[in-house]
Amino acid sequence: MKLSSANINVLVKACRKAAKTLIRDFGEIENLQVSLKGPGDFVTASDKKVEKILIDELQKARPNYSILSEEIGEIKNDSEYKWIIDPIDGTSNFLHGIPHFAISIGLEHNGEIVCGIIYDPIKDEMFIAEKGNGSYLNNQRIRVSSRSKLKDCIIFTGGPRIDSENRDLVLKEYKNFSSKVLIPIRKMGSASLDMAYVAAGRCDGFWQRNLRYWDVAAGIIIVKESGGFITDFNGENEYIRNKTILVSNAKINSEMIEVLK
> Is there a catalytic annotation at residue 21?
no
**Active-site residue, selected from the candidate residues 47, 57, 86, 130:** 86
Q: Is the peptide bond before 184 cis (omega within 30 degrees of 0)?
A: no
> Is there a catalytic annotation at residue 86?
yes
**Active-site residue, selected from the candidate residues 25, 70, 204, 232:** 70
**Active-site residue, selected from the candidate residues 53, 67, 84, 88:** 88
> Is there a catalytic annotation at residue 152?
no
**Active-site residue, selected from the candidate residues 44, 91, 157, 244:** 91
> Is there a catalytic annotation at residue 89?
yes
User: What values do phi and psi take at 43, rounded to 5?
Assistant: -130, 140
**Active-site residue, selected from the candidate residues 89, 130, 173, 204:** 89
**Active-site residue, selected from the candidate residues 57, 108, 173, 215:** 215
- The C-alpha torsion from 5 through 8 and 12 to 15, rounded to 10°, is 160
> Is there a catalytic annotation at residue 25?
no
> Is there a catalytic annotation at residue 124?
no
DSSP 82-139: EEEEEEEETHHHHHTT-S--EEEEEEEETTEEEEEEEEETTTTEEEEEETTTEEEETT
Closest CA to 8 of 180, 167, 127: 127
Annotated catalytic residues are 70, 86, 88-89, 91, 215
